């Protein structure tokens, strides 16, 4: 019972500090949270929490603030990620469903996540090397001009124009379309390239010459973005809310936002199954960002995690709200990719 009460005190300190940005005293806790015990009992619990390293006194203040260890216990003892309200869900769905292509989806997701959490939002573009070929379409634009359309499981669409030496009949085009899709549909990019190279083996037959040209163009489209690790960042202005801790927390984070490789490592590996990960302070990979926390999860079609999205900010963040928003946006983004 005593441990549960102390956990309630810690939870109240975290919630108040995140909301007010001020160290929290025992009198304020009793007044705001109705803990059902006297201020003296709360002071005793706060003393025990401080001795165990969950809270600390900044400077000579009479109040206390959570430590990284306190935030970690607070997050670990969240029984569930709080659900988004029906209105929030409708707003998310309406905002993301209006996207016209992958770039628009990622951009909208970034803006939405930063608005929901008031943190810096980071959305990694789906990693091409993990994606599969959904469909290849061949369209005759003119007797000797073809449009090649490569559609991937990430929602990415690549197009190539191909000029051929001789007129291509619809029957030949349909046969080649079937041959290519049979070889590569549902296959990951690296293996799809190998399958296309088999199709591209040159012979003297006109149809095989066409197949070679089409296959080589598709291989080029696949290779164009193989090492592409683009990310979208939004909500940097939200860091202005943390003015008092600018030099120690915000300045290093602003510098990190310039280095996408650093951000990707900070976000961690994409996790499948809706698992939301929280890295608090020194738990992250960079000592200079030891006052930064990251809430992240993976997203992708079905149960496949092709990339990561999340929020980054000082350790004094609304963890329950951030976790809920990250999970919700990831789910909607995954659904959009699944339906693309």
Q: What is the pLDDT of residue 174?
A: 92
Question: Strands 292-299 and 307-314: what pairing?
Answer: antiparallel
The per-residue pLDDT for range 172-206, each reduced to its tens digit, is 899 999 999 999 998 888 788 888 888 766 554 55
Maximum distance among all Cα pairs of the chain, rounded to whole angstroms:
92
Q: Are residues 261 and 117 in the same domain?
A: yes
The two three-digit tokens of residue 242, written as one number: 């943390």
Residue 54 falls within a domain, yes or no? yes
Residue 95 falls within a domain, yes or no? yes
The per-residue pLDDT for range 287-302, each reduced to its tens digit, is 888 888 999 999 987 7
**Half-sphere CA count of 292, side-chain side, radius 13 A:** 28
Which CATH number characterizes residue 47's domain?
1.10.10.10
Quick one: DSSP state of residue 231? E
Provide CB contacts within 8 A for 176, sequence distance 6+.
138, 207, 210, 211, 214
Phi, psi of 152 (to 5 degrees): -105, 165
Q: Are residues 109 and 158 in the same domain?
A: no
Q: Are residues 193 and 147 in the same domain?
A: yes
Residue 255 falls within a domain, yes or no? yes
Total tally of structural domains belonging to the chain: 3
With the C-alpha atoms ordered 229, 260, 235, 267, is the resulting torsion angle positive or negative? positive
Q: Are residues 279 and 312 in the same domain?
A: yes
Q: Are residues 92 and 164 in the same domain?
A: no
Residues in the chain: 340
pLDDT at 248 over 70: no
How sure is the predictor about 50, in pLDDT bands with cuts at 50, 70 and 90? very high
Last residue of some domain: 183, 202, 223?
223
Q: Are residues 252 and 103 in the same domain?
A: yes
Residue 35 falls within a domain, yes or no? yes
Residue 201 falls within a domain, yes or no? yes
* Mean pLDDT value across residues 71-84: 83
Last residue of some domain: 168, 189, 223?
223
pLDDT at 158 over 50: yes
Domain that holds residue 104: 86-127+229-339
* Mean pLDDT value across residues 229-246: 78
Q: In what order do the strands lie in the sheet with 157-163?
A: 133-142, 145-152, 157-163
Q: Are residues 201 and 318 in the same domain?
A: no
Residue 254 falls within a domain, yes or no? yes
Q: Are residues 196 and 317 in the same domain?
A: no
* Mean pLDDT value across residues 32-56: 90
The two three-digit tokens of residue 14, written as one number: 């975290």
Which CATH number characterizes residue 210's domain?
3.30.390.60
Q: Is the pTM of this model over 0.75?
A: yes
Which CATH number characterizes residue 123's domain?
3.30.450.40
Last residue of some domain: 76, 95, 112?
76
Q: Are residues 55 and 153 in the same domain?
A: no
Q: Assign 3-class secondary structure to 149-179.
A: EEEECCCCEEEEEEECCCCCCHHHHHHHHHH
How sure is the predictor about 228, in pLDDT bands with cuts at 50, 70 and 90? low
Q: Are residues 186 and 286 in the same domain?
A: no
The Cα 212–Cα 178 span in angstroms is 15
Question: Strands 133-142 and 145-152: what pairing?
Answer: antiparallel
Residue 81 falls within a domain, yes or no? no
Q: Are residues 25 and 55 in the same domain?
A: yes
The per-residue pLDDT for range 81-139, each reduced to its tens digit, is 777 888 888 888 888 888 878 889 899 999 999 999 999 999 998 877 667 888 999 99
Residue 164 falls within a domain, yes or no? yes
CB 92 within 8 A of CB 82: no
Q: Are residues 29 and 67 in the same domain?
A: yes
């Amino acid at each position: 019972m005593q441990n549960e009460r102390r956990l309630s005190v810690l939870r109240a300190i975290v919630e108040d500090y995140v909301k007010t940005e001020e160290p929290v005293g025992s009198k304020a806790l009793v007044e705001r949270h109705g803990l059902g015990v006297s201020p003296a009992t709360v002071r005793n619990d706060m003393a025990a929490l401080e001795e165990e390293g969950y809270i600390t006194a900044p400077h000579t203040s009479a109040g206390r603030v959570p430590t990284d260890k306190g935030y970690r216990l607070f997050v670990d003892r969240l029984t569930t990620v709080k659900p988004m309200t029906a209105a929030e869900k409708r707003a998310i769905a309406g905002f993301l469903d209006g996207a016209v292509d992958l770039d628009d989806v990622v951009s909208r997701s970034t803006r939405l996540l930063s608005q929901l959490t008031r943190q810096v939002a980071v959305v990694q573009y789906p990693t091409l090397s993990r994606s599969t070929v959904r469909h290849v379409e061949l369209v005759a634009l003119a007797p000797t001009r073809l449009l090649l359309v490569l559609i991937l499981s990430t929602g990415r669409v690549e197009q190539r124009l191909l000029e051929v030496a001789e007129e291509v009949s619809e029957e030949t085009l349909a046969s080649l379309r079937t041959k290519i899709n049979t070889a590569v549909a549902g296959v990951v990019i690296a293996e799809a390239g190998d399958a296309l190279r088999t199709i591209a083996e040159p012979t003297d037959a006109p149809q095989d010459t066409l197949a070679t040209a089409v296959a080589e163009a598709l291989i080029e489209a696949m290779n164009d973005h193989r090492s592409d690790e683009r990310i979208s960042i939004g909500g940097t202005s939200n860091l202005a809310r943390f003015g008092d801790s600018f030099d120690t927390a915000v300045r290093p984070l602003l510098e990190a936002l310039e280095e996408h490789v650093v951000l990707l490592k900070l976000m961690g590996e994409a996790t499948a199954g809706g698992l939301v990960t929280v890295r608090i302070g020194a738990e992250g990979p960079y000592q200079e960002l030891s006052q930064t926390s990251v809430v992240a999860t993976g997203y992708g079609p079905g149960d496949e995690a092709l990339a990561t999205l999340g929020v980054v900010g000082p350790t004094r963040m609304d963890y329950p709200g951030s976790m809920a928003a990250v999970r919700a946006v990831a789910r909607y983004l995954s659904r959009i990719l699944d339906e693309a």
